Amino acid sequence: MEILQQLGLALGFATLSGLNLYLTVLVSGLAIRFDWVSLAERYESLAVLGDWWVIGVAGGLFLVEFFADKVPWVDSTWDTVHTVVRPAGGILLALAALGDLDPVVSVVAALLAGGTTLVTHSAKAGGRLLINLSPEPVSNAVASVGEDGLVLGGLTLMALAPAVAFFVFVVLVIVAMVIASKTWGSIRTGGRMLRERFRGKRIEAA
């Protein structure tokens, strides 16, 4: 059961980091700092999240993302910038949840965690591009609030029932894979539109 609980936390961190890395770190850090959750000895590596510097930086970046994530095309630009940042963060959080591992196991775990975060990030980014290609700007704010709610709900489940969370996140990752595959065309189209927008701005500035 302990192994399943650790896997639930690791998979949860990897999955949620693809949706909102900074909110995941911020809420986890606050929960640890104010003893909303008690860390078992095997989770000591996660204690660093409760450091005020970590909380402050995560909080500041979350504040920026909170507003950027609700503006059409600004959200997609933000997602593009975080294509590397989110998987890297997901890897660090997942490895911290797993604790001390054999070096070979650590590499395998890092690859799996990074891939998981990339899947949920791709689903988020693809979904946002679909919204940006539609004529309803209000959808951006609704999607952003929904994603933040999913992160908060996921973290709550991880704290209350990490073993159950493992199976829930497995399902979420599968759903994210389907969404990412369905929106791949939108990602390519949106990428071209973003490049054209930046190219147009450079021409105007010249």
Angle of helix 2-33 versus helix 138-160 axis, rounded to 10: 120
pLDDT value of position 190: 56
Distance CA 129, CA 205 (A): 26
Degrees to nearest 5, angle at CA 70 with 68 and 71: 75
Structure tokens at 189: 């189209």
pLDDT value of position 206: 47
pLDDT class of 92 with cuts at 50, 70, 90: very high
Least confident span in 96-100, 130-134, 138-142, 190-194: 190-194
Residue 80 has what DSSP assignment? H
Distance CA 4, CA 107 (A): 19
Query: Which residues have a Cβ under 8 Å from the Cβ of 143 and sit 6 or more positions away?
Result: 127, 128, 131
Predicted confidence (pLDDT) at residue 203 exceeds the cutoff of 50: no
pLDDT value of position 9: 96
Whole-prediction pTM: 0.87
> How much of the chain exceeds pLDDT 90, in percent?
67
Nearest C-alpha neighbor of 58 from the set 85, 34, 95 = 85
